[in-house]
Structure 1
Amino acid sequence: MDHSKNIKRSDFRGAAHYRIVVEGVLDERWSDRMAGLSIERDKTKGDKPRTILSGKIRDQAELSGVLDSLYGLHLTIVRLEKVEQEEPNSL
């Protein structure tokens, strides 16, 4: 079965707002390393702590750098979403 039809393609030309949810705790002091994204603890109850990174990312290269940094810290990415505008965290 081909699931590729269900994948929404993103346009990477120019800046966009993103929300990234990772499993684990990331201190706010990492914001500079994460392209200046805001870093907040996910307040929802669950088995494992989660952190939400959100904000404006300039381009695909900057997004790749953030994801690479998260990978280097061994943080599991739970969700990555491009949002129309920066919204208060609603997860």
Structure 2
Amino acid sequence: MSATDDNIKSTFSFSKPAIYQIKVLGKVPSSWSERLSGMDLSYRNKKSGVETTLIGKMSDQAQLSGLLISLYELHMSVLSVEKLNTNI
């Protein structure tokens, strides 16, 4: 294992809370906010259609995985998933 691998492991943990930003193509119904772990929803019109941005705290990677499964069940195309903050 290289020093870079050690550095990545020390800064990224699957079991710690973090704030995530997820972008999907389409409009996620605001009524789904609670099912989506209480994420804040915002909408933006793009040439390709409406894009929904979800931002919120996930307690760990398992909760993030569950959220992504819920988006899959809504037939949403996930455009990006970004970890914004781990110092919470």
State the match for 2:67 in structure 1. 66
How high is the sequence identity, in percent, across the aligned residues? 38
Partners of 2:84 and 2:51 in 1: how far apart? 19
Map of 2:3 onto structure 1: none
Corresponding pairs, count:
78
List per-residue Cα deviations over 1:24-50 (Å, max 9, x = no partner): 00122111100111111125x322211
The amino acid across from 2:76 in the alignment is L
Rounded Cα–Cα distance in structure 2 between residues aligned with 1:26 and 1:37: 11
- Consecutive unaligned residues of structure 2, counting only runs of 5 or more, are 1-7
Deviation at 1:14, TM superposition (A): 1.1
Select the structure of larger CA radius of gyration: 2
Query: Residue in 1 aligned with 2:44?
Result: 42
Give me the CA root mean square deviation. 2.0
Q: 1:4-35, CA deviations, whole angstroms, 9 ceiling, x for partnerless residues?
A: xxxx7742121000000000001221111001
* Poorly superposed stretches of 4+, deviation over 4 Å: none
1:12 aligns with 2:14: yes
| TM-score of the superposed pair, with normalisation by structure 1 | 0.76
TM-score by length of 2: 0.78
